[in-house]
C-alpha cells in the first residue's frame, strides 16, 4: 500500500497593483513576452487582470516572485524599457543573492552617447566597475564576453571626460606576431592595427569618431602594443643629475638619489634595461641637448596648453616634424627649480672668488690684484677674505695684501694660498674657470659665485617695453661654460654668442685706440624670480626696476642619432620628472593616466612587472585577461597566472573574478564557457587517476623504488 505524500506548504495569494497603464504595458512586454518569461522563471502561478497581478504559491516562492516584480517595476520607473534580457539578468542576480539590488545594477550608467548607454549588466560586472572606482590597480579576470575590456574602456573615457586623468593608455601584447612586427609588410600602424582593433572599436562606441584622431595626435589617447610601450629610455652614457653632480645614466642603481624637477633629491625605484634602440638628439633653443629613444616621454606645454593653464606628456617621436608652428617653437619644457646640492667647505669666500674671476689677476710671482671702478666692490672684497686688506695703487687698481705683512715679515697671503689650492694661480683671462668644489655646492655658494662674476663682468641689459636680461662677457670658453652651468643649476636659462676679435672696432684707453686681442663670449641670462643676480647697488636697482622676466626652454629640433644600448628608470618624484643632460627636465612614467592592459594572459611575468611598475601618480591601471586562453609559446608562464599570488595581499590592488554568469553576448556563449570548464575539469581528473593507476609509478610520474 502506497503511503500518502506529506502535505506541501500552504498556498497563499499575493497581489500587486500597478496604477499606471503605461507601466503595466511595459511590464507585460510585446505580446506578453515579458510575462511569459516571468512565469517560466518563478515557481508561483502568475495571473494578470487589468492593473492587478496575482501571485499564487508557497510563501517563499511568492516572496521571490514579488521581489522580481518589484525590481522590474523600479527599472521601468527609472526610465528603462524592459527587455527579456533585462529580466533574465534580474532573475540571475536574485538567484545569486548578494546585497546589490538588480535595479541598481542595471541602471548604473557609465557613459551615454547618441541615446546609447553603457552600464554593467550583471552583478559581477557591477562589482568589477565598483572595484575600478575604489582601487588603483584592478585585475579583471574571466572568460570572453564578460565585458572586461569594454567596461574598463568606458571607465577610462568617463575619467577623461571628468578630467580625473589627462590621458588614456591602451595596450595589449601582440603575441600572435611574436612581437616581431618588423618582418611584416606595411607601415607600423598597418602592422599593429589587427592586434589593437578591438580597442579601436570600443573607442568608436564611446567617443565621436571625428574626435579620436585629434585625441590620438595630441597624445591624449595612446594605443600601442605592449612591446612598443616599454621603451621610454635613454642611452647608458646620457647623464643624470644627482646631489653630487652629473653621473652616467647607466651607473644608476635602485636607491640612488637623482634630482627631480623641484630641484630636490628623489630616489630611483626602478631600473629597466631596454637593449639597443634607435635614439634621437633633442636640442633646445639655448643649445642644450640630450639623447633618448622615440618612445621617451616629455612633459611639454604648447601655446594652446598655456592658454588653458595645462601641460601634456608626449613621446619624442610624436614631436618630430612638429617642433615649430610657423616662426615659433611649439613645445615648451619645464625649467628645473634651483637645484639643492650637498654643501661643501670652500677655501675662499664664493662671492670674493666671483669678483676675482671677473676683475682679478692671479700672478704666481706677485700678490693678487683687483681692478674695479666701484669702491663698493673693493669694500666687499676686503670684508670677504679674512686677514686681507685692499691697498689702492691707482684710481682702479688694488693689491690684496696680508694685514700683518710688510716690515720684513713673510706671511702667506690667504688669497694666494686659496688660489693655488684651487688651481687658479697663474690663470689668465682666457683660461679662468670655476673650480668643481664651487660648481657642485649648495645653492648659496653657487649663487654667490655668479653674483661676483656678474657684479664685475656682467650687467642688466634693458630694452624699451621688455623685461631686463642679464649679459655676461668673458674671453675664457671654460668660464663661459661654467657660468651657463651655474645659471641652469639655479633654474635659469643661458645662451651665448661669439664676438670675434678680428674686424671688431677697437676700444679706447686714455684717449688712444686699443685693439681687441681675444675673441669674446657674450652670455645672455634669464633667472627665475627670487634669484637675485646682482649685489652691486647700481646694477641691482636697474634690474629690479625692469624685472627679470621668466626663463623658458623650448624644443628646437629632434634628429636621429643612431642606435645605442638604452635603459629607463622610475623615480619616486610625484610628477615622475628628473633632470638629465644640461639640466633638461625629462619624464619616464605615466602620471595622470588611465592605463588598460588587455589580453594580459599573453604577457610573461617579466612583462607584467615592467607594465605595473610604470604606474605614476594620480593614475589607474586595469588589467584584463582570460587565463584559459594563453597564446604564449609552449613552456612560457603567463604573467597573469602568477601575479595574483604575488600581489594578492597588496593594498589597493583588487582581483575581480568574472564567470560565465557575467557573459553579455549570446546566451550560448555562457553555456559554451561552462561546457569547456567541465570538460577541462574531467580531463584533469582523468589524467590524475591514470597517473595513480600505473603500477610502479609515483604520482609525479617517476618509477617507485623496489624493496630489497
Instruction: Verify that 410 and 509 share a domain, yes or no.
Output: yes
User: What pLDDT is attached to residue 444?
Assistant: 97
> Model confidence at 155, in pLDDT bands (50, 70, 90)?
very high
CB 338 within 8 A of CB 528: yes
440: pLDDT strictly greater than 50: yes
> Model confidence at 527, in pLDDT bands (50, 70, 90)?
very high
Instruction: Verify that 137 and 102 share a domain, yes or no.
Output: no
User: What pLDDT is attached to residue 703?
Assistant: 40
- The pLDDT of 149-157, averaged and rounded, is 91
> Model confidence at 708, in pLDDT bands (50, 70, 90)?
very low
Interhelix angle 605-612/639-647, nearest 10 degrees: 60
Q: What is the CATH number of the domain that holds 478?
A: 3.10.28.10
- The pLDDT of 208-234, averaged and rounded, is 73
The Cα 147–Cα 481 span in angstroms is 59
> Model confidence at 196, in pLDDT bands (50, 70, 90)?
low
For residue 453, what is its C-alpha cell?
662674476
User: Chain centroid to CA 425: how far?
Assistant: 48
Residue of 45 and 490 predicted with greater confidence: 490
508: pLDDT strictly greater than 50: yes
User: What pLDDT is attached to residue 191?
Assistant: 45
User: What pLDDT is attached to residue 264?
Assistant: 94
User: What pLDDT is attached to residue 229?
Assistant: 54
Look at residue 279 and tell me if it is in a domain: yes
User: What pLDDT is attached to residue 238?
Assistant: 94
Domain count, the chain: 4
Q: What 3-state class would DSSP assign to 623? A: strand
Look at residue 596 and tell me if it is in a domain: yes
The Cα 110–Cα 592 span in angstroms is 20
Interhelix angle 443-457/350-359, nearest 10 degrees: 30
Look at residue 396 and tell me if it is in a domain: no
- The pLDDT of 493-504, averaged and rounded, is 87
Instruction: Verify that 540 and 422 share a domain, yes or no.
Output: yes
Look at residue 698 and tell me if it is in a domain: no
Instruction: Verify that 538 and 570 share a domain, yes or no.
Output: no
Flag the least confident range among 142-146, 246-250, 474-478, 481-485: 142-146
Look at residue 383 and tell me if it is in a domain: no
Burial class (CB in 10 A: 0-12, 13-18, 19+), 213: exposed
418: pLDDT strictly greater than 90: yes
Look at residue 437 and tell me if it is in a domain: yes
Structural domain that includes position 57: 8-107
- The pLDDT of 398-425, averaged and rounded, is 82
User: What pLDDT is attached to residue 180?
Assistant: 45
Look at residue 693 and tell me if it is in a domain: no
Instruction: Verify that 580 and 599 share a domain, yes or no.
Output: no
Phi, psi of 332 (to 5 degrees): -95, 130
Interhelix angle 414-421/350-359, nearest 10 degrees: 90
Phi, psi of 350 (to 5 degrees): -65, -35
Read off the pLDDT of residues 630-684 as tens digits, 9 standing for 90 and up.
888 777 889 999 999 899 889 999 999 998 777 776 667 666 766 777 777 777 7
Instruction: Verify that 413 and 542 share a domain, yes or no.
Output: yes
Flag the least confident range among 190-204, 268-282, 316-330: 190-204
Instruction: Verify that 270 and 331 share a domain, yes or no.
Output: yes
DSSP assignment of 514-563 equals E---S-EEEEEEE--TT-----SHHHHHHHHHH------EEEEEEEEEEE
User: What pLDDT is attached to residue 704?
Assistant: 40
> Model confidence at 447, in pLDDT bands (50, 70, 90)?
very high
The Cα 367–Cα 484 span in angstroms is 30
From the list 319, 322, 299, the residue with the least C-alpha distance to 311 is: 299
In the block, cell 557613459 appears at 111
Instruction: Verify that 413 and 471 share a domain, yes or no.
Output: yes
Instruction: Verify that 648 and 622 share a domain, yes or no.
Output: yes
Q: Which of 14-18, 258-262, 547-551 has the largest mean confidence?
A: 258-262
178: pLDDT strictly greater than 70: no
Q: What is the CATH number of the domain that holds 268?
A: 2.170.16.10
Of the residues 648, 665, 682, which one is the last residue of a structural domain?
Answer: 665
Q: What is the CATH number of the domain that holds 648?
A: 3.40.50.300
Instruction: Verify that 580 and 611 share a domain, yes or no.
Output: no
Of the residues 498, 523, 550, which one is the last residue of a structural domain?
Answer: 550
Q: Parallel, antiparallel, or unpaired: how do β-strands 137-141 and 507-509 relate? A: unpaired
The Cα 433–Cα 110 span in angstroms is 63
User: What pLDDT is attached to residue 307?
Assistant: 82
Look at residue 184 and tell me if it is in a domain: yes
Q: What is the chain's mean pLDDT, rounded?
A: 84
User: Chain centroid to CA 314: how far?
Assistant: 10
697: pLDDT strictly greater than 60: no
> Model confidence at 100, in pLDDT bands (50, 70, 90)?
confident
User: What pLDDT is attached to residue 669?
Assistant: 64
Q: Which of 111-125, 154-168, 244-258 has the largest mean confidence?
A: 244-258
199: pLDDT strictly greater than 70: yes
Read off the pLDDT of residues 324-372 as tens digits, 9 standing for 90 and up.
999 999 999 999 999 999 999 999 999 999 999 999 988 877 889 999 9
Instruction: Verify that 175 and 223 share a domain, yes or no.
Output: yes
188: pLDDT strictly greater than 50: no
User: What pLDDT is attached to residue 114?
Assistant: 66
> What is the percent of the chain where pLDDT is above 90?
39
CB 583 within 8 A of CB 488: yes
CB 261 within 8 A of CB 334: yes
Q: What is the CATH number of the domain that holds 46?
A: 3.30.1370.10
> What is the percent of the chain where pLDDT is above 70?
87
How does DSSP classify residue 402?
Answer: E
Instruction: Verify that 415 and 536 share a domain, yes or no.
Output: yes
Of the residues 90, 107, 124, which one is the last residue of a structural domain?
Answer: 107
CB 227 within 8 A of CB 557: no
DSSP assignment of 236-262 equals TTSEEEETTEEEEGGG--TT-EEEBTT
Amino acid at each position: 500500500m502506497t503511503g500518502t505524500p506529506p502535505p506541501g506548504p500552504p498556498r497563499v495569494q499575493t497581489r500587486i497593483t500597478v496604477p499606471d497603464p503605461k507601466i503595466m504595458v511595459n511590464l507585460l512586454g510585446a505580446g506578453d513576452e515579458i510575462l511569459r518569461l516571468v512565469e517560466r522563471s518563478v515557481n508561483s502561478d502568475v495571473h494578470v487582470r487589468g492593473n492587478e497581478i496575482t501571485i499564487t504559491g508557497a510563501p517563499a516562492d511568492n516572496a521571490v516572485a514579488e521581489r522580481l516584480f518589484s525590481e522590474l517595476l523600479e527599472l521601468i520607473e527609472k526610465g528603462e524599457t524592459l527587455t527579456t534580457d533585462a529580466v533574465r539578468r534580474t532573475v540571475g542576480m536574485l538567484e545569486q543573492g548578494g546585497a546589490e539590488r538588480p535595479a541598481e545594477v542595471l541602471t548604473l550608467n557609465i557613459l551615454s552617447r547618441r541615446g546609447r548607454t553603457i552600464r554593467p549588466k550583471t552583478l559581477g560586472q557591477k562589482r568589477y566597475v565598483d572595484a575600478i572606482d575604489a582601487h588603483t590597480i584592478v585585475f579583471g579576470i574571466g572568460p570572453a564576453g564578460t565585458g572586461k575590456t569594454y567596461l574598463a574602456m568606458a571607465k577610462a573615457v568617463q575619467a577623461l571626460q571628468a578630467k580625473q586623468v589627462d590621458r588614456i593608455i591602451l595596450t595589449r601584447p601582440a603575441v600572435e606576431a611574436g612581437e616581431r612586427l618588423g618582418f611584416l609588410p606595411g607601415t607600423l600602424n598597418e602592422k599593429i592595427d589587427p592586434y589593437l582593433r578591438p580597442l579601436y572599436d570600443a573607442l568608436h562606441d564611446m567617443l565621436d569618431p571625428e574626435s579620436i584622431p585629434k585625441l590620438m595626435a595630441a597624445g591624449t589617447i595612446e594605443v600601442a602594443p605592449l612591446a612598443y610601450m616599454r621603451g621610454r629610455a635613454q642611452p647608458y652614457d646620457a647623464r643624470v643629475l644627482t646631489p653630487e653632480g652629473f653621473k652616467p645614466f647607466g651607473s644608476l642603481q635602485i636607491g640612488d638619489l637623482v634630482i627631480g624637477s623641484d630641484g630636490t633629491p628623489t630616489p630611483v625605484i626602478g631600473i629597466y634595461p631596454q637593449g639597443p634602440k634607435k635614439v634621437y638628439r633633442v636640442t633646445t633653443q639655448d643649445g642644450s641637448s640630450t639623447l633618448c629613444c622615440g618612445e621617451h616621454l616629455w612633459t611639454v606645454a604648447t601655446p594652446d596648453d598655456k592658454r588653458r593653464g595645462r601641460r601634456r606628456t608626449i613621446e619624442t617621436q610624436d614631436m618630430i616634424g612638429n617642433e615649430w608652428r610657423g616662426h615659433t617653437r611649439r613645445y615648451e619644457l619645464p625649467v628645473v627649480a634651483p637645484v639643492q646640492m650637498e654643501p661643501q667647505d670652500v677655501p675662499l669666500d664664493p662671492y670674493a672668488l666671483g669678483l676675482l674671476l671677473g676683475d682679478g689677476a692671479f700672478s704666481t710671482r706677485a700678490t693678487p690684484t683687483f681692478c674695479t671702478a666701484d669702491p663698493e666692490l673693493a669694500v666687499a672684497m676686503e670684508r670677504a677674505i679674512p686677514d686681507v686688506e685692499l691697498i689702492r695703487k691707482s684710481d682702479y687698481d688694488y693689491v690684496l695684501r696680508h694685514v700683518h705683512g710688510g716690515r720684513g715679515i713673510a706671511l702667506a697671503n690667504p688669497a694666494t694660498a686659496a688660489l693655488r689650492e684651487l688651481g687658479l694661480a697663474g690663470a689668465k683671462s682666457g683660461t679662468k674657470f670655476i673650480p668643481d668644489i664651487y660648481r657642485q655646492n649648495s645653492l648659496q655658494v653657487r649663487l654667490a659665485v655668479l653674483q661676483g662674476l656678474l657684479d664685475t663682468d656682467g650687467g642688466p641689459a634693458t630694452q624699451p617695453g621688455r623685461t631686463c636680461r642679464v649679459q655676461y662677457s668673458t674671453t675664457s670658453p671654460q668660464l663661459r661654460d661654467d657660468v651657463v652651468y651655474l645659471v641652469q643649476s639655479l633654474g635659469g636659462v643661458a645662451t651665448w654668442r661669439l664676438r670675434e676679435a678680428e674686424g671688431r672696432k677697437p676700444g679706447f684707453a686714455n684717449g688712444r685706440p686699443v685693439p681687441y686681442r681675444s675673441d669674446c663670449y657674450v652670455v645672455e641670462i634669464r633667472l627665475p624670480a627670487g634669484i637675485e643676480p646682482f649685489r652691486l647697488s647700481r646694477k641691482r636697482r636697474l634690474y629690479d626696476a625692469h624685472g627679470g622676466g621668466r626663463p623658458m626652454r623650448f624644443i628646437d629640433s629632434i634628429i636621429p642619432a643612431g642606435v645605442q644600448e638604452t635603459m629607463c628608470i622610475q623615480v619616486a618624484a610625484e610628477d615622475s620628472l628628473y633632470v638629465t643632460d644640461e639640466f633638461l627636465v625629462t619624464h619616464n612614467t605615466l602620471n595622470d593616466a588611465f592605463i588598460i592592459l588587455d589580453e594580459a594572459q599573453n604577457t610573461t611575468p617579466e612583462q607584467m612587472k615592467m607594465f605595473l611598475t610604470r604606474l605614476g601618480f594620480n593614475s589607474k591601471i586595469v588589467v584584463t585577461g582570460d587565463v584559459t586562453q594563453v597564446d604564449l609559446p609552449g613552456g612560457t608562464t603567463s604573467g597573469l597566472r602568477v601575479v595574483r599570488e604575488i600581489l594578492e595581499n597588496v593594498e589597493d590592488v583588487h582581483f575581480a573574478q568574472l564567470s560565465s554568469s557575467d557573459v553579455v553576448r549570446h546566451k550560448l556563449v555562457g553555456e559554451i564557457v561552462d561546457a569547456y570548464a567541465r570538460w577541462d575539469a574531467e580531463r584533469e581528473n582523468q589524467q590524475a587517476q591514470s597517473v595513480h593507476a600505473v603500477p610502479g609509478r609515483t604520482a609525479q610520474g617517476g618509477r617507485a623504488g623496489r624493496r630489497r
